């Protein structure tokens, strides 16, 4: 292991099977733009969602090419919207690999972002299950007292899920629903997606410029600057 490798401390991004793969793509682009290292865990269910929402098959054996195509798409599905993507410091871990680096607390990581988080994912993490690497990594993140941001994407929410979200909050996670706001002057679907992604990065303390912040002045949503 070289010195650069030993000093690497990535953000682990988990993508579950909820609708909202553009949110995950925007978070990943934001982390890479900020110069952060990223470890990526894409659940089996999320691959079906990604295929349904974008037509992209995410394959372990070809993950880098598939990820580049995914991150290059805008929220409207248009290919090639985002170019010059630097994936040199992205590491992929198979969702079924429970012996992967992030499955251990001794693996160096800054924290974990689950975007989007399905209700099944929320339940698994809240109950401390480890049915796959995503859930196991979330459990490790909590026990090591590292930041965990859970961007739940579901509506309406059942009473059981609400209890599980409270349990995650009490365990130290940040529960961040994928709820876009309109005061930032959104004019495109990408703006709404970027707002949620920006709030996820805010919770992680990662600098970004994904949305226009509130300035304490009414009428901000109608400005074009």
Distance CA(45)–CA(27), nearest Å, equals 19
What confidence score (pLDDT) does residue 218 get? 82
3-state class of 224 per DSSP? coil
pLDDT (0 to 100) of residue 5: 58
CA distance 24 to 113: 9
Mean pLDDT over the full length of the chain: 94
**Span 79-108, average pLDDT:** 96
Q: What is the pLDDT of residue 214?
A: 85
Summarised one tens digit per residue, pLDDT across range 131-140 is 999 999 999 9
Q: What is the pLDDT of residue 216?
A: 82
Whole-angstrom distance, CA of residue 56 vs CA of residue 58:
6
Greatest alpha-carbon pair distance for the chain in Å reads 54
Work out the burial of residue 145: count CB atoms within 10 Å of its CB; fewer than 13 is exposed, 13-18 middle, 19 or more buried: exposed
Report the pLDDT averaged over residues 118-142. Answer: 97
The Cα–Cα gap between 37 and 54 comes to 25
Alpha-helical runs (H) found in the chain: 3-6, 21-33, 44-54, 63-72, 119-126, 133-143, 159-170, 189-204
Q: Which of 93, 99, 42 is closest to 71 using CA atoms?
A: 42
Q: What is the pLDDT of residue 28?
A: 98
Residue 175 dihedral angles phi and psi, to the nearest 5°: -90, 115
| Residue 200 near residue 149 (C-beta atoms within 8 A) | yes
**Least confident span in 156-165, 177-186, 199-208:** 177-186
CA distance 8 to 130: 25
Q: Which residue is associated with the tokens 């975007």?
A: 115
Strand partners, 174: 149
Residue 194: both structure tokens together:
């970027």
Residue 6 has pLDDT above 80, yes or no: no
pLDDT band at 3; cut points 50, 70, 90: very low
Give the pLDDT of residue 185: 86
97 has pLDDT over 90: yes
The pLDDT of residue 1 is 45
Q: What is the pLDDT of residues 40-89, one digit of tens each?
A: 999 999 999 999 999 999 999 999 999 999 999 999 999 999 999 999 99
Any idea what DSSP says for residue 87? -
| CA gyration radius, the chain | 17
């Amino acid at each position: 292991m070289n010195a650069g490798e030993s000093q690497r401390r990535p953000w682990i991004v988990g993508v579950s099977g909820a609708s909202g793969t553009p949110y995950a793509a925007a978070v990943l682009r934001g982390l890479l733009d900020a110069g952060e290292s990223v470890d990526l865990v894409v659940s089996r269910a999320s691959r079906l969602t990604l295929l349904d929402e974008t037509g992209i098959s995410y394959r372990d054996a070809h993950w880098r090419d598939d990820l580049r195509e995914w991150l290059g798409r805008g929220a409207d599905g248009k290919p090639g919207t985002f170019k010059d993507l630097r994936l040199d410091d992205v590491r992929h871990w198979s969702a079924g690999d429970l012996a992967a680096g992030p499955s251990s607390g001794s693996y160096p990581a800054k924290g974990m972002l689950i975007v989007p988080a399905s209700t099944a994912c929320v339940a698994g993490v809240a109950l401390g299950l480890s049915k796959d690497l995503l859930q196991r990594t979330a459990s490790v993140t909590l026990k090591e007292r590292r930041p965990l941001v859970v961007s739940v994407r579901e509506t309406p929410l059942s009473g059981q899920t609400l209890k599980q979200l409270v349990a995650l909050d009490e365990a130290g996670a940040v529960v961040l629903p994928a709820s876009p706001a309109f005061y930032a002057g959104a004019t495109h679907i990408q703006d709404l997606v970027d707002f949620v992604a920006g709030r996820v990065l805010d919770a992680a303390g990662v600098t970004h410029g994904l949305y226009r912040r509130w300035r304490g002045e009414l009428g901000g949503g109608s400005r074009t600057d």
